Structure formats: C-alpha cells, structure tokens
Structure 1
Amino acid sequence: MHLQPYRIEIPEEDLQDLKRRLVHTRLPTPLQNASWTEGTDPTYLRNLLNYWADGYDWRQREQWFNSFPHYRAEVDGVTLHFIHAKAASPNAVPLLLMQGWPSSFVQVLDFIPLLTHPARADALHFDVIAVSLPGYAFSELPTEHGMNFARVADLVVKLMVEVLGYERFAARGSDQGALVQQQIGLKYPERLIGLHRSGITPFLNPLPGDLTEEEKTYQQQVAIWAQRETAYARLQAQRPETLLPALTDSPAGLASWILEKFQRWGDTEDLDQHFGRDKLLDTITLHWFAQGGAGSIRLYHEAARDPGLSGRVQVPTAIAMPLRDGITVPAPRRWAERFYDVQQWTVMERGGHFPEWEIPEALAEDIRSFFSHLLSQ
C-alpha cells in the first residue's frame, strides 16, 4: 500500500479543451419564462457557462486547493485521493469525512479548519481525513463491476487502519459517503468511535409492520417525494451508461445535470449567493476532470446491483436533520432508530443537503458536542 503527497496540476491542454467546448456550447432554445420549475434554469445556466469560459480562474482555484495537504494511496490496487489535515493538539481525534453526489471535497474545505483549529483551545480537536470516493476528484475511476458501498468501505477502512495507522476513528458522512460509513458500521464496528451523519435513508423494502403513526405519515410523504424527485436516481442506478456520454463529452450537460440538484437540495433559491459561483464551478470542474462524474454515477448502479450488508448499526450515532434538505422530507427519530443506535438527534432549522458548506459552524459544533460526550464516558 503506497502513500504519497499529491499536488493538483491539471495539464494546460485539458484546460484549453474545456474552454473550447464551453465557447462552442450549443444550448436549446429556451422556453418562454422558463425557471427552475422545469429543471435547470436556462438563463442561469447560460450565464454560468459564460463565466466558466471567460471569468472562472482554475489556476487560482487550484492554488487554493493545494493549500490543503492532499495525498493519494493505493489500497488493494485502487488509488484513493484524500486530504489529511492534522490538528495542533496531540490528543486530536481522527475523523473520517465523506461526501456524496453531486458534491466533492470542495464541500468541506472551509469546514476542515473549524475541526482542526477550533476557536477555543480547550475544545476537542480533530485530525481530518476527507476521502474522495472512487471516481470522484482524484480517486481512481472504477472500470469493473463490484465497486459498491461495501467494497468502498473495505478500502476506506484499510486506508484508515493499515495506511494511516488509526486503529479507531470517528466518522462523519452525508449522501453516498454516509452509506459507505453505514457499511463500515455494519462490517467493522470495532473500528468506529461513533458515527455522525445528516439525513437518513427514507426507503426500506418491505416496510416494517410496526410503523408508528408518525412513521406512516412520513412514508406517505416519502412516496410523494419519490415520485416527484427521484427520476435522476433511477436513471443513474438502472441505465448509467446511457447518460454518461452526455456528461463526459459536454461540460454544459454536466453543469446542467449537477446544478439542478444543488438548487433542489440546498437551503436556497439563489445558488450564487448561497454556495458561491466559484465553488459551484470548482465542484463541476472536478467532476469534469474525473470524466464527467462517471464514477459517482456508476456507484448508484453498483449499489443497486449489490447494496451490501443490511441491519442496524450498533455504533453510537448522531444524526443531524436539516429541515431544508430537499433530498427528502425530514424523518422522525423513530425511523432513524431502525437503522442506527441514535444517541444524539439534532433538528437543524437551517441548512440543506450540503451542511458542511451551508451551515459549517453549527455542524462543527454538533460534531464536537457528540464526540466530546462519547469520549468523556
């Protein structure tokens, strides 16, 4: 297992190819008065593409990325990219951070210093290991079947234990990253100090026969939400190769596919003000250089083919439930307790599907509170 520092240096010819494609983008004639109701707002998309071609400075963004300590390690023949940011405290707790689609490590860049260098010197410090899932950013793109959440969990545990030397560690995840960590909790519970995640998986088939009235109402809401919002997931899970040429060959297609989810799932109606135009383009550009996000989409398909272990994670778990996470309606605690040993439950009035990005201070405090309590017992 080989570990080496990594510096992000995209070849100039790749940047020029991206700019050429952006300049020669062919967009459809927009509907009159079109908005986000029909999908990605065509006016917003056109303006963003123009800025991507002539205003966005990748080299400046690359310099910011490289201010963080990046590494790549080969684990069981698969190359994983990660940021390993250490705290000044010798008693820092190792914390595995993982995100999911359509995000990237950009989600946690402003968040990491809140964990490694808290404002209060006596507060719990964390050594942060932010891992890019296979096919994301600078982790290797899988080209064979079998790279599902359980397989990724195996790789990540080996990275943490055998490469980095952490016998036990804390974990914080969202979206696909949280599902990988769920598999870690089921397969390697002895490795985890505890789990912290946001949101909860709304589906279980078949549904239990002992649902509470609150859970029944929740599942009725989930059914409505699923009908309206999950067409993208069904396509990515069932026919990913149909979509991938459009995302791999067209930066406009990739941007449109991704932006709609940030608009639907974030706690905002103004993407630029809420997320920052440059940071949105950071994530889209990282997906572009990772072959149009092929790995992230194929992971949906692999999870559908083999979802991995099922059952209740017995590791102490904290769940933050942002009320404005547009990926699903807020779940009741009883539903979450079917999947996890929930010991901390926080309803967050603000924030959406990307809380490290949207409400970093509140989330950092929630994480610190949970693990401080666990470690004091």
Structure 2
Amino acid sequence: MPTTDASGPTRRTVLRGGLAAGVAVATTATVTGALGSTAAGATTTSAAARIRPFRVEIPTSRLTELSHRVGSTRWPARELVADRSQGVQLATAQAVAKYWRTRYDWRRFEAKINALPQFTTEIDGLDIHFLHIRSPHRDALPLLVTHGWPGSIVEFLDAAGPLTDPTRFGGRASDAFHLVIPSIPGYGFSGRPTETGWGAARVATAWIELMNRLGYPRWVAQGGDVGAAVTDTLGRLAPAGLAGIHLNLLLAALAGVPFPAGTDEEKTATAALTAFQRTGSAYISEQSTRPETIGYALSDSPAALAAWMLDHDTDSYTKISKAFLGGAPAGNLTRDHVLDNISLYWLTNTGVSATRIYWESAQPQPGAGGTLPEIKVPVGFSAFPGEIFQAPRSWVAAAYPTLNYYNQPARGGHFAAWEEPELFAAELRAAFRTAR
C-alpha cells in the first residue's frame, strides 16, 4: 500500500483537504433567482444571493494570442527513452500543439456550452459558475456533480443529455435527473478567492447553499478525483435533504489507509496503487508544496499547460496520446474534447489557481486531529477499469459501511463521465434508484 513521506504532506491531507481558488469573469445582466435558505438555515435575500444568467464570450484577440503562443513554443529535447517514463513524450506534445493551432475551433465549444443554461451566484464572497439543466420529466431527482483536476465542467457536458432525458438514450423517465454542475472555485468561470482556506468542507458548504438557493429540498451528489473529496465531505456533513452520494474514486486508499491484500483483486489494486505512488504522483508533490512555481509555466505557455495536464493518469494519457497521434479516440476522449478542457484553463488563466487545491489541502486544517463524522447517507460506487486502481468491493465496503450499490463497469477510466457519458449515466441511474 502507499506510504507517506514524513518530509512532505501526507496523501491523506492532499486528497481529503481543500479545494482552490478561481478566476473572476464578467457576467450578463443580473436577474433575481430562486431564493433558498443558507447552509446555516437563514433566508437569503441580499443582492449577492441573486442568480444571474451567464454567457461565454472570449474576445477574438485572446484566441489569436493563443494561436501565436502555441506556434512560438520552444520545445525541449526529445525524451531519451521509448516510453513515457520521463514524462509526456515530445511527439504527443507536438501533435497536441499542431492540432490546437491549425484545426481546433474554440467557437464550436463556446456555442455548445452557451446552448446550455449557465448561471453565476455569489456564495461566501465568490461568484460560483454553474450549469443548471432541468429535466423535461416530472419528478426528476436533483443531482449535483463535482469535477476534479485537471478536469472541469467539460467532463459532464456530454453526460447531461443521458442524465436529464434518459428516454432519448434507452433509459426510463423515472430515472431522470435535474442536473447541477458547478465550477469549483479556481476553475473555469468561477471566482478566485482572495484568501486561503477553501478546503473541501468550505466548498461542500457552498454547494449546500447552492442547492438550497435553487430550491431543492431533496437531492443527491456525485464526484470523482477532487470532486470525490467534496462529495465525501457532503456525505459526512449530511445536510438536510441529501439522500445519497456516488463516487468513482476511493480516497481512503489513496490516502494510505491500509486495506487487505489477500484476494487476487485486492493484490492487483495494491500493485496499481504502489505503482502510482512510485511513478505517477509527481504532480501531487509539486502542486501541494509549490503551486506558484509551476504556475508561471502554466500561465505563460499553452504547451506547458497542456503537457502538465496530460501527465496525470496513465490510462487517460494513453488514450489521449493515441487520439492525437492518429489512433481512434477511446470513447469520448476526442482531440476536440481534450482541447476544450485545456483551452478553458488557458483562456481563463486558471492553471495556477486550480493547482492550489493541493496546496490548500496540505495545510493544517481547522480542527486538525479530530475526525469527520461518519457517513450516514447511502453510498454508491462505480469502480471503472481504467481508474488509477480498480477499488475492490471489499475495500469500498470497509470505507463506506452504508454502501448500497457497487459495480465494475466494462469501460471507462479516471474521467468516467467524460470518457463514457452514457455508461456513466447508467451507473448513476442504478446507484440512485433507491433514493427516489
């Protein structure tokens, strides 16, 4: 199992701790939104609590600058090995840059996201950007989904249709969701805090307020990667109305909690965790200790930003590399979809603010030494085969005694909703069927 280095932050603090800051973006005219109660139970009536429509409109000058910077990249020497053991391979990085500069169309993505209902609302001093896609089906269950790093709301866009209107995708109307997709502070079009302290609990509390403000008295939540930390925290805070959570990453194992390695399945998961700690977690060390340092490269060079974001997960990297090097894309990880996400980071200049999630989580947390409440709400878990490790049911059940759904889908990896949107939607329908 992974161990912790006494000289640095533990994996437990990195993955169970806070989330980072964001970037402020101008919005359209303010309109009064649905008012709800705050997390503390008080009625929200101020102008700050209004829900405002939002539209993405990146100036053409910014796109021209991006193209120029990509074309002016000064490349490093080629790696000295035949595999990716020295990092993102030069051929992949150059293929990404070439496609980005010559064929990628941001306006296509801009039209796609602007076709969906987007909003911002101020919570805890920050503008929170979110998509709110209501189902056409009566009695749909409200669902809050939280992205991770180096992802964004882009992860969930193609899953929105199957989740909100399942009858169009072979599902049943009774499985429909009203979908809420917020951008974590520090990502995309959400605001950037001017103070530290935006940990998982603070983000989770903001999400509770968001769901209250939208007028949802009963709802469920889902998350993977950093989103799993927020969703896990929601389950432990157990706000009134939260009927269950679903996860696709077992944080406890990544945090170094010991689990048995007796069965073949457990041994395979243990080996994958050990390999990740040994060769795949360099970004955790840098972002949890020196995010500002890497931030200069992420803010100045599109090629550096792309390489840093691609060097995250072995399975996803392999799929993305094949797509850019002429192979067939794996599931939904097409070249355009990958660059939608990277371009969102670049055009909002959130490379460094997003990485601060790891620094925040590595700091001493308020009340350190205590323990979070146990999760009392039902928990669903999908162990996708291409995840960093495929968590065995025995591990998930030990971490979450209230586990009431577990499945190992046939396809999908770390970015499950992004890679396999219809399969991801089917997992959530099954996981939350008992919560309706």
- On whether the aligned pair clears a TM of 0.5, the verdict is yes
1:130 matched residue in structure 2: 181
1:305-356 CA-partner distances (Å, limit 9, x unpaired): 146763532210110001221x2x2222232233322111101232100111
Q: Distance in 1 between matches of 2:429 and 2:411?
A: 18
1:289 matched residue in structure 2: 347
| Over 6 Å off, 4+ runs | none
Shift of residue 219, structure 1, vs aligned partner:
4.6
Shift of residue 262, structure 1, vs aligned partner:
5.4
1:213 matched residue in structure 2: 262
1:351 matched residue in structure 2: 412
Contact 2:291 2:359 in 1 (8 A): yes
1:58 matched residue in structure 2: 106
2:382 is aligned with what amino acid? A
1:39 is aligned with what amino acid? G
Shift of residue 200, structure 1, vs aligned partner:
0.7
1:247 matched residue in structure 2: 298
**Aligned mate of 2:223, from 151, 154, 173:** 173
**How many residue pairs align between the two structures?**
370
Consecutive unaligned residues of structure 1, counting only runs of 5 or more, are none
Matches within 5 A, 1:278-357: 278-306=336-364, 310-325=372-387, 327=388, 329-340=389-400, 341-357=402-418
Consecutive unaligned residues of structure 2, counting only runs of 5 or more, are 1-48
Q: Distance in 1 between matches of 2:373 and 2:258?
A: 14
2:432 matched residue in structure 1: 371
Q: Distance in 2 between matches of 1:349 and 1:360?
A: 13
Q: Which has the larger share of strand?
A: 1
SS in 1 for 2:197: coil
Matches within 5 A, 1:133-282: 133-161=184-212, 163-201=213-251, 202-204=253-255, 207=258, 211=260, 213-214=262-263, 217=267, 218-219=269-270, 221-261=272-312, 264-265=315-316, 268=319, 270-272=322-324, 273-274=329-330, 275-282=333-340
1:230-265 CA-partner distances (Å, limit 9, x unpaired): 111111111111111111111110001112225544
Contact 1:189 1:314 in 2 (8 A): no
Contact 2:238 2:376 in 1 (8 A): no
Shift of residue 167, structure 1, vs aligned partner:
1.9
Counterpart check, 1:98 vs 2:146: yes
Q: Distance in 2 between matches of 1:204 and 1:20?
A: 41
Contact 1:254 1:288 in 2 (8 A): yes
2:23 matched residue in structure 1: none
1:346 is aligned with what amino acid? N
1:27-66 CA-partner distances (Å, limit 9, x unpaired): 1122366543421121121122122122211112211111
Counterpart check, 1:117 vs 2:188: no
SS in 2 for 1:270: helix
Shift of residue 103, structure 1, vs aligned partner:
0.9
How much identity, in percent, do the aligned residues show? 34
More relative contact order, 1 or 2 (CA 8 Å, 6+ apart): 2
Counterpart check, 1:11 vs 2:59: yes
TM-score by length of 1: 0.91
Contact 1:318 1:344 in 2 (8 A): yes
- Alpha-carbon distance change, 51 to 106 in structure 1, aligned in 2, over 3 angstroms: same
